Amino acid sequence: MSRMKAIVCRQYGSPDVLHLEEVHKPTAAGDRVLIRVRASSVNAGDWHLLRADPFLVRLAYGLLRPKYPVLGTDVAGVVEAIGPDVTQFKPGDEVFGDLSACGFGGFAQYATAPERFLAIKPGNLTFEQAAAVPSAGMTALQALRDTGKIASGMRVLINGASGGVGTFAVQIAKSFDTHVTAVCGSRKLAGVRALGADEVIDYTAEDFTQSDKRYDLILAANGNHPITAYKRCLAPGGAYVMSGGSTKQMFQALLLGPLMSLTGNKRMTSMLAKPNQVDLQCVGKLLSSGKITPLIDRQYPLSQTPDAIRYLEQGHAAGKVVINMEH
């Protein structure tokens, strides 16, 4: 049986528990596609899963040890082989996708996924750029379009605008012809402004929750404010959507959000992205047209994936952190 290199996680813990190992190369069966991975990227979900934080992660992904030893959600690469039931792809196709709903495996030289979670890579993107897109791009799209009900003319605020989800959210919100206010740290103001934000707030100098300005839609991709402060910043009929942040912020949105939505006319919601081919293709069209562009902060070789996760955990990445495969 063929072998490949992969970053393996056999126990929960810090990035120190990750090791580069030789493991069995997966095979294409049924409707699954075997991908020779050219690049992957790191997401907040990777370190949440790695550390089993919050603890509820263990209920879904293994109580004592990770159910999936090879992490990694996003992939971009070349189709190596296809299962007998695959109809949309052929060997040699350049594809990208989100593997979070089908067993992960992106931090490896080869990965498999059902064809319904993959799409043809936009031709104007490198593999590294394409690998930066799936999870963060679909999260931003679904949070704004589906949960937030974004519409032309809205005043939209993106908190955590310089991160992976945030950088896509700024650009996607602008594609809906809205007025976008982006919140980020002082070091990243120029980069976020270059993405098209109409206004940029430096959270180290100004607390937007203390302002008199009101917004029709707030997307919290990061940044820790009490959920009551977010509600105060909404205009009548407005919506707050939590897609990421601290564990405290997540539980506030999950537990208090539905209760707070019962009074008044402001919606306090949370969302968890659902990988699917239709939305991946939708994001792909935005990429192909140039309406959105991936922003990459740093790139690491596969062997340094633990360092890449440490860097992302620090919370200072401007855009995405990408993993290059070493074939």
Per-residue pLDDT tens, the chain, 327 aa: give them: 799 999 999 999 999 999 999 999 999 999 999 999 999 999 998 988 999 887 878 888 888 899 999 999 999 999 999 999 999 999 999 999 999 999 999 999 999 999 999 999 999 999 999 999 999 999 999 999 999 999 999 999 999 999 999 999 999 999 999 999 999 999 999 999 999 999 999 999 999 999 999 999 999 998 678 989 999 999 999 999 999 877 777 778 777 777 788 888 999 999 989 999 999 999 999 999 999 999 999 999 999 999 999 999 988 889 999 999 964
In CATH, which superfamily holds the domain spanning 136-270? NAD(P)-binding Rossmann-like Domain (3.40.50.720)
pLDDT value for 250: 75
CA distance 248 to 9: 26
pLDDT value for 256: 78
pLDDT value for 55: 81
What pTM was estimated for this model as a whole?
A: 0.94
pLDDT value for 162: 94
Which contacts qualify for 190-193: CB closer than 8 Å, 24 or more apart?
Answer: 191/162, 191/295, 191/318, 191/319, 192/161, 192/162, 192/166, 192/167
Residues 6+ apart with CB under 8 A from 321: 41, 42, 164, 296, 297, 298, 299, 300, 308, 311, 312
| 223 neighbors 251 (Cβ within 8 angstroms) | no
Residues 6+ apart with CB under 8 A from 29: 83, 84
CA distance 312 to 172: 23
CA distance 30 to 28: 7
pLDDT value for 316: 81
Among the listed residues 16, 20, 14, 118, the one whose alpha carbon sits nearest the alpha carbon of residue 73 = 118
Q: Where are the domains of the chain?
A: 3-133+294-324, 136-270
pLDDT value for 237: 97
Single-letter code of the amino acid located at 43: N
Read off the tokens for 301: 């070789």
DSSP track, 288-308: HHTS----EEEEEEGGGHHHH
Instruction: Write the CATH number of the domain with boundaries 3-133+294-324.
Output: 3.90.180.10
CA distance 41 to 147: 25
Strands of 43-178, DSSP E = 74-82, 94-98, 110-114, 118-120, 155-159
pLDDT value for 326: 66
| Chain Cα centroid distance, residue 211 | 29
